[in-house]
Amino acid sequence: MDRLLPAALTIALMLALLALAWWGWRGRRRRQGGFAAPLRAPDTLGAPLFLTEAIAHATTLASQPLERVNAHGLGYRSRIQVGVHDEGVVLAYPGDEPILVPAADLLGIGLGTWTIDKAVEPDGLTVLSWRLGDTEVDTWLRLPARDDRVLIDAVRTRIPNSATTPDERPTDDA
């Protein structure tokens, strides 16, 4: 009986914290409900010029690595396939239709060290910056070490204005 009250209070506190987390996640999804849906990759795409496996750690608002994008399934950490095509970059999340980031919507690609749920060695993440409708976003990828430079070079040749990359863009601090 001595332990019943503390155990009940602990369980109640844990349930309250879970409810608050669920409420916050639901609110973020509702606030981002106006974001444009990503384009689905058409079946007519040719073979990729470069294809690799990666872990997508997060998609965040551009230059805001702590502001996760929760809209359209982009808010989850997942193993994905990244393919570079003449038309753009394809992000294939398991269990969902592959997303095409058209070359015209590519803003930059570079290296980073941390994002909302991941911190690694310096330049251990590859960040792909792109336009989701009117919203600029960054997708943070963890690639095999041998593939990061190849992916960066392949994507940079498809960026309409490749003079600016995410690691060179001005931040809010500048």
Q: What is the DSSP string of 14-78?
A: HHHHHHHHHHHHHHHHHHTTTSPPPEEPPTT----SEEEEEEEEEEEETTEEEEE--GGGTTS-E
**pLDDT surpassing 90 at residue 109:** yes
Look up the CATH architecture of domain 39-156.
Roll (2.30)
Q: Looking at residues 64-91, what average pLDDT do you find? A: 90
Characterize 161-172 residue by residue with b for buried, 16 or more Cβ atoms within 10 angstroms of its Cβ, and e for exposed: eeeebbeebeee
| Residue ranges per structural domain of the chain | 1-31, 39-156
Q: Looking at residues 99-120, what average pLDDT do you find? A: 90
Q: What is the pLDDT of residue 74?
A: 86
pTM of the model: 0.80
Q: What is the pLDDT of residue 173?
A: 40
